[in-house]
Structure 1
Amino acid sequence: MGRIGADVKFRDGGCRLAETPIMAAETLARLGFGGILVRTIDEAFPTLDEGDIEAFGRMTDTLGMFVRMGIGKINPYMTAELPRVRILGEGSYLAGMQRMIRLCGVRGWTEVWTAVGGFKPDLATPFCFDRFRTDVTWPQQLEATSAFIEKLAPTLRAEGVRLNIETHEEITTHELVRLVEDHGSDIVGVCFDPANLPVRGEAVLPGARRVAPFVHLTHLRDIIMARTDAGISRFLMPAGDGQIDWDALLGVFAAREDVDLLVEGVGGTRAEMILQPDDDFWRAAHPDLDADEISELTELADRQAERAAAGIGPDLAALRTNGDVDGEYREFLTRSLAALKLRLHAVTPLAD
Structure 2
Amino acid sequence: MTFRIGVDSSKFGLPHSRPASSVVERAAARGLQGVYFRSILELSPTLDLGEAREAMRTADDLGLRVEAGVGKVNPYATPEAPAIRALGGGDYLAALRRMIEVSAAAGIRELWSATANYQFRLTNRHAYDRFRTDVTWDEQLAATERFLRKLAPVLRDHGVHLNLETHEEITTFELARLVEAVGPDVLGITFDTANVLMRCEDPNAAVDRIAPYVRATHVRDAALFFRPTGITRVLAPVGEGVLDWERLLAPLADRDLMLSIEGIVDPERAEMDLQIHDPAWLAGHPDLTLAEAFEVVRLTTSYAERVARGEAAGWADLHSPVGEAESLDFIDRSARHLRDVLAAAGHPHHPDRSVTA
How high is the TM-score relative to the length of structure 2?
0.93
C-alpha distance in structure 2 between counterparts of 1:43 and 1:121, whole Å: 23
Amino acid at match of 1:263: I
Aligned residue-pair number: 345
Match of 1:342 among 327, 340, 346: 340
Q: Tell me which residue corresponds to 1:56.
A: 55
Q: CA deviation at 1:53?
A: 1.1
Q: Tell me which residue corresponds to 2:93.
A: 94
**Is the aligned partner of 1:190 residue 2:189?**
yes
Q: Tell me which residue corresponds to 2:257.
A: 259
Q: Is this contact kept in 1: 2:229–2:277, CA < 8 A? A: no
Question: Structure 1 86/10 Cα, relative in aligned 2: closer, same or farther at 3 Å?
Answer: farther
Amino acid at match of 1:239: V
Q: CA deviation at 1:254?
A: 1.3
Q: Is this contact kept in 1: 2:19–2:42, CA < 8 A? A: no
Q: Tell me which residue corresponds to 1:209.
A: 208
Q: Is this contact kept in 2: 1:223–1:244, CA < 8 A? A: yes
Gaps in structure 2 of 5+ consecutive residues: 348-357
SS of corresponding position for 1:139: helix
C-alpha distance in structure 1 between counterparts of 2:291 and 2:114, whole Å: 27
Pairwise mapping of residues 135-214 of structure 1 onto structure 2 (< 5 A)?
135-214=134-213
Decide which moves more: 334-343 or 164-173. 334-343
SS of corresponding position for 2:125: coil
Amino acid at match of 1:235: V
Q: CA deviation at 1:98?
A: 0.2
Deviation sequence 1:148-189 (CA, Å, 0-9, x none):
001111111111111100000000000000001101100111
Amino acid at match of 1:264: E
C-alpha distance in structure 2 between counterparts of 1:194 and 1:32, whole Å: 22
SS of corresponding position for 1:77: coil
Q: CA deviation at 1:18?
A: 6.2
Q: Is this contact kept in 2: 1:203–1:294, CA < 8 A? A: yes
Q: CA deviation at 1:260?
A: 1.8
Q: Is this contact kept in 2: 1:308–1:314, CA < 8 A? A: yes
Deviation sequence 1:185-220 (CA, Å, 0-9, x none):
001110001100110010110000000000000000
Q: CA deviation at 1:119?
A: 1.0
Pairwise mapping of residues 265-344 of structure 1 onto structure 2 (< 5 A)?
265-267=263-265, 268-324=267-323, 326-344=324-342
Amino acid at match of 1:337: A
Pairwise mapping of residues 14-163 of structure 1 onto structure 2 (< 5 A)?
16=15, 19-163=18-162
Q: Is this contact kept in 2: 1:8–1:39, CA < 8 A? A: yes
Amino acid at match of 1:153: A
SS of corresponding position for 2:184: coil
Question: Structure 1 205/17 Cα, relative in aligned 2: closer, same or farther at 3 Å?
Answer: farther
Q: Is this contact kept in 1: 2:8–2:36, CA < 8 A? A: yes
Amino acid at match of 2:338: L
Pairwise mapping of residues 221-232 of structure 1 onto structure 2 (< 5 A)?
221-232=220-231
Q: Tell me which residue corresponds to 1:2.
A: 3
RMSD: 1.8
C-alpha distance in structure 1 between counterparts of 2:222 and 2:115, whole Å: 22
Identity of aligned residues (%): 43
How high is the TM-score relative to the length of structure 1?
0.94
Decide which moves more: 172-181 or 42-51. 42-51
C-alpha distance in structure 2 between counterparts of 1:294 and 1:46, whole Å: 42
Gaps in structure 1 of 5+ consecutive residues: none
Q: CA deviation at 1:15?
A: 6.3
* Runs of 4+ with deviation above 4 angstroms: none
SS of corresponding position for 1:345: helix
Q: Is this contact kept in 2: 1:10–1:39, CA < 8 A? A: no
